[in-house]
């Protein structure tokens, strides 16, 4: 892909943005990958108009035709997998193996949604009456995606929208627009012009999307404050919303747990994508009988990681994606140090080019310390010692977020009993951060509204219509 400029995609064609200039920075080198201009509000209007025109035809396509076309999109992603993975590494920072997994996941998610059936529910079928609950597409769906999983989350938003008969205007993060742009090119090689469009921009374009009368639904993955702003603006035309927002996922390790059996799983799900995952494990509550041994094992795993540019061979841990997020992580760890925390590994940025922060294990902290109370969204894990299980559950629930949580222990029944007490949308047992195309996923509290994935997630892109027929 030519990185010389970053463009928009409107009505089947690449166009240059007419808004503010911006650079896409490689977080491993701090050097620009591409430069371009964001969309103007007028160009957003053009993209919405194109999507509305295309909707009149796209909504009439059959389920079989949509299934065939979505599988062709999956074929195109698969055929360009290496290129897409390398773009992701360069704009986002993750190691190549993880980017390859992201592309593979995008293919699998596309194929799963391609084959999903939209159900028709028969409410009554009697001698004199038949009542059916049918599902219709909403119209134009706007997708706003973040910088942590730029390709995968675009797929999560766009493909169900297409499967249910909607058209799309997507706005990727300005930090990581390149993989989305390439994805939209591939999609437009398969679908009619205007069905999927892309604009870039930050606050001005985001506000215009959430206020736009021609947009029928917004699906957003990102911060809670931005989600709240979208929700307020969406009231202008009662847009449908799916909001997957912040998380500060807690995990509880029960007494009697085999430390060696769970340490690797806890480490990997805490530091997945350098900790930059909404549903990563972010607070770890460990029974006092296991605390020191588990901390030692986690610190050992942290020190084994190879930090470098994700395109280099043998790298297991990449940089934080941007300078601002690096500063957030640094400030939270420094605050914990000031509160008496012990740093068992890492603890400060690497003095080299790139936004590198090593995986950091922090102990001798508890609720009330910022690193525990706030979502760090980066490579620092606070480990909190507990004695009484009820106290651990209370501390885990003492949070305004409710995305995910987990319980680790040798007795599945005992672990499930604790899991049912956690206030979050998904609870994993002896695992964490596993999202699957067939399992609905969404948060409670300030972690979001609505669900994604599975049939339940697909139906969020539709309007229920009751057909009441008298015979």
Separation CA 327–CA 320 (nearest Å): 10
Task: Give 181: exposed, middle or buried? Use CB within 10 Å, 0-12, 13-18, 19+.
Answer: buried
Evaluate whether 428 touches 434 at the Cβ level (below 8 Å): yes
Q: What is the b/e burial string over 108-123, where b = at least 16 CB atoms within 10 angstroms of the residue's CB?
A: ebbbbbbebebeeeee
Residue count of the chain, please give it.
471
Which of these, 312, 294, 315, lies nearest to 304 by C-alpha position? 315
Evaluate whether 119 touches 464 at the Cβ level (below 8 Å): no
Q: Which two tokens stand for residue 143?
A: 């997708």
Quick count: other Cβ atoms within 10 Å of Cβ 16? 12
Spatial CB neighbours of 394, under 8 Å, sequence gap ≥ 6:
none
Annotated active-site positions, please? 244, 278
Would you put residue 45 in left (φ > 0), alpha (ψ -120 to 50) or beta? alpha
> What is the DSSP track for 320-367?
-SSHHHHHHHHHHHHHHHHTTPEEEE--S--SSSS-----EEEES--T
Handedness of CA 398, 402, 403, 407 (dihedral sign): positive
Spatial CB neighbours of 259, under 8 Å, sequence gap ≥ 6:
290, 293, 294, 297
Task: Give 27: exposed, middle or buried? Use CB within 10 Å, 0-12, 13-18, 19+.
Answer: buried
Evaluate whether 210 touches 234 at the Cβ level (below 8 Å): yes
């Amino acid at each position: 892909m030519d990185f010389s400029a970053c463009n928009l995609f409107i009505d089947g064609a690449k166009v240059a943005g007419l808004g503010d200039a911006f650079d896409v920075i490689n977080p491993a080198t701090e050097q620009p990958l591409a430069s371009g201009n964001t969309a103007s509000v007028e160009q957003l209007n053009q993209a919405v108009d194109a999507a509305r025109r295309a909707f009149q035809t796209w909504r009439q396509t059959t389920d079989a035709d949509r299934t065939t076309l979505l599988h062709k999109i999956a074929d195109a992603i698969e055929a360009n997998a290496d290129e897409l993975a390398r773009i992701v590494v360069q704009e986002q920072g993750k190691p190549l193996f993880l980017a390859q997994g992201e592309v593979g996941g995008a293919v699998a998610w596309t194929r799963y949604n391609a084959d999903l059936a939209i159900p028709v529910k028969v409410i009554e079928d009697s001698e004199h009456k038949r009542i059916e609950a049918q599902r219709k597409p909403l119209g134009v769906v706007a997708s706003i995606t973040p910088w942590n999983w730029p390709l995968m989350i675009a797929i999560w938003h766009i493909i169900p929208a297409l499967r249910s008969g909607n058209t799309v205007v997507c706005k990727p993060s300005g930090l990581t627009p390149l993989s989305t742009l390439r994805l939209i090119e591939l999609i437009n090689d398969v679908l009619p012009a205007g069905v999927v469009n892309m604009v870039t921009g930050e606050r001005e374009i985001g506000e215009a999307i959430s206020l736009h009368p021609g947009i029928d639904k917004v699906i957003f993955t990102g911060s809670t404050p931005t989600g709240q702003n979208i929700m307020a603006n969406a009231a202008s035309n009662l847009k449908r919303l799916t909001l997957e927002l912040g998380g500060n996922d807690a995990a509880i390790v029960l007494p009697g747990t085999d430390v060696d059996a769970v340490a690797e799983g806890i480490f990997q799900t805490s530091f997945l994508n350098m900790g930059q995952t909404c549903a990563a494990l972010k607070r770890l509550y460990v029974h006092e009988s296991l605390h020191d041994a588990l901390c030692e094992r986690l610190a050992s795993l942290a020190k084994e990681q190879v930090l470098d540019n994700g395109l280099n061979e043998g790298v297991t841990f990449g940089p934080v994606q941007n300078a601002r997020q690096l500063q957030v992580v640094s400030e939270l760890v420094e605050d914990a140090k000031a509160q008496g925390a012990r740093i068992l590994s890492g603890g400060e940025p690497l003095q080299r080019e790139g936004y590198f922060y090593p995986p950091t294990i922090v102990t001798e902290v508890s609720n009330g310390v910022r690193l525990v109370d706030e979502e760090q969204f980066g490579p620092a894990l606070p480990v909190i010692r507990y004695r009484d299980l009820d106290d651990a559950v209370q501390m885990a629930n003492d949070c305004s977020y409710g995305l995910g949580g987990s319980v680790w222990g040798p007795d599945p029944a005992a672990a499930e009993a604790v899991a049912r007490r956690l206030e979050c949308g998904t609870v994993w047992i002896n695992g964490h951060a596993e999202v699957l195309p067939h399992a609905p996923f969404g948060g409670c509290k300030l972690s979001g509204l609505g669900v994604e994935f599975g049939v339940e997630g697909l139906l969020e892109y539709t309007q229920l219509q009751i057909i009441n027929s008298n015979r």
